Homo-oligomer: A and B are copies of this chain.
Amino acid sequence: MQTSLKIAVVGSGLVGSLLAIYLKKAGHTVHVYDRSPDIRKINFSGRSINLAMSNRGWKALDGVGVGDAVREIAIPMGKRAIHLVDKLNFQNYGQEGESIYSISRGKLNRKMIDLAENAGAEFHFEQKIWDVTLSDATLHIGESERGEWEERKYDMVFGADGAFSRIRHRMQRQSMFNYSQEFLNMGYKELNIPANADGTHKLDKNSFHIWPRGEYMLIALPNLDGSFTCTLFMPFEGANSFESLTDRKMVEDFFEKNFPDSIEVIPELANDFFKNPTSTLVTMKCFPWTYEDKIALIGDACHAIVPFYGQGMNAGFEDITVLNEMIEKFGDDWKKIFSEYQISRKPNADAIAELSYRNFMEMSTKTADEKFLLQKKIEKVFSDKHPDKWIPLYSRVTFSDRPYAEALAIGDFQNAIMDEVLKLDNIENIWDSPEVENKILELLQNA
């Protein structure tokens, strides 16, 4: 057991709540602050893609014994349902029994706060943190940025306050703080597929649904109540863009033409489209993540990524797993804990940012591409036969806890090999032949 400290966690989101449970179980006093009201007491308004929990997320939850409570609100998705304009294909994500899990962000957040409160963390909602004194972990709280502030001193402050973190904001003003934020020229908008009258799902419940259309795409993830949360990703400007769809008829015509099988399952299409906001997508990187033994950033506050690999929450939860490993290793030496945490984690945060950015292309374009689907089939056959020699990139990211940076590097290496393999004569017909298998073995050997 560590020496008990008085710790503030800023942000009562998923990462903040789970971190509070870990810290509480390690014997600390934990106060969680959030500028918003208690999400359990308000009608949570969407504006969030459903979450896809995978291996790294579950590992962090199970590490503190709360995985099963979360499994109750999760729906397994073992495959992609790929809606082409004229047909529907399915593609398994991994091996038999391997799934990612659809969870509503609102539901999960409420549950995580309940679990953290049960563990003994104290939550302070509607408390606006405007600044932090780095050297002595003092929070500055007040009604407004220009009004009166009050000070709360802690032994340590965690910034789990998301991509626009106030805690990071103070660190950014330090010299030698590296920082970047880059927005995509693409936004997203939430739409809704309601349940059937009998509460069943209108589309296959255990699939992650994608309508890949190149520059834009629609996705849908199942909810427990029979509905699906849909998300339309599209450029802000240009030919097929949010800007170009200016009235109800244009939206309906656009969906009719491009997502014909979605029309009958999204009854409120035009209403949702004009009522729901268009949200932005940002990649944020920074370093350092910590200040002495006083301040540490975690989750989106230090590495916000675009959602196309479904790894945002998983990466944030894995931060906690790594932090906890360092705590177990270095005991009360928080300087060492923070320093090892950020050094070990930074390259992996950069790698999942890169993989997530690239994956928009895979989801929106390649899943509709015959060559890509052939590559996936070849990889699957080879990987089934030589599981020690080939873990597909998606599986390494999603169904393992190997470092993201390793996944990125090995994924690039595998793609180079598959580029060679796909050049083989008549590959469409010999893709599952010993010839192809031997070619891959040879290329692996020569590397």
Give A residues with C-beta under 8 Å from B.
146, 149, 175-183, 280
Contact = CB atoms under 8 A, between A and B. Distances in A.
A281 B115 CA distance: 46
Contact of A178 (B146, B149, B183): B183
A205 to B, nearest CB: 35
B181 A181 contact: no
Contact of A180 (B175, B176, B180): B180
A354 to B, nearest CB: 15
B177 A178 contact: no
Contact of A175 (B177, B178, B179, B280): B280
Given A175-B280, A178-B183, A179-B180, 6 more contacts: A175-B183, A176-B183, A176-B280, A178-B181, A179-B181, A180-B182
A183 B178 CA distance: 6
A179 B285 CA distance: 10
Contacts of A183: 175-178
A179 B177 CA distance: 13
Contacts of A149: 146
Nearest to A181: B179
Nearest to A140: B146
16 contacts: A146-B149, A175-B183, A175-B280, A176-B183, A176-B280, A177-B181, A177-B183, A178-B181, A178-B182, A178-B183, A179-B179, A179-B180, A179-B181, A180-B180, A180-B181, A180-B182
Contacts of A179: 179-181
A332 B344 CA distance: 54
A149 B146 CA distance: 10
A187 B180 CA distance: 21
A244 B179 CA distance: 27
A280 B178 CA distance: 12
A169 to B, nearest CB: 9
A84 B317 CA distance: 54
A146 B130 CA distance: 11
Contacts of A181: 177-180
Contacts of A182: 178, 180
A132 to B, nearest CB: 14
Nearest to A130: B146
A17 B124 CA distance: 49
A181 B180 CA distance: 6
Contacts of A177: 181, 183
Interface centre among A175, A176, A183 (most CB of B within 10 A): A176
Nearest to A164: B173
A277 to B, nearest CB: 11
Contacts of A180: 179-182
A58 to B, nearest CB: 33
What are the nearest 6 A-B pairs in CB distance?
A180-B180, A176-B183, A178-B182, A179-B181, A175-B280, A178-B183
A423 to B, nearest CB: 27
Contacts of A175: 183, 280
A176 B181 CA distance: 9
A281 to B, nearest CB: 10
A181 B178 CA distance: 5
A304 to B, nearest CB: 13
A56 to B, nearest CB: 27
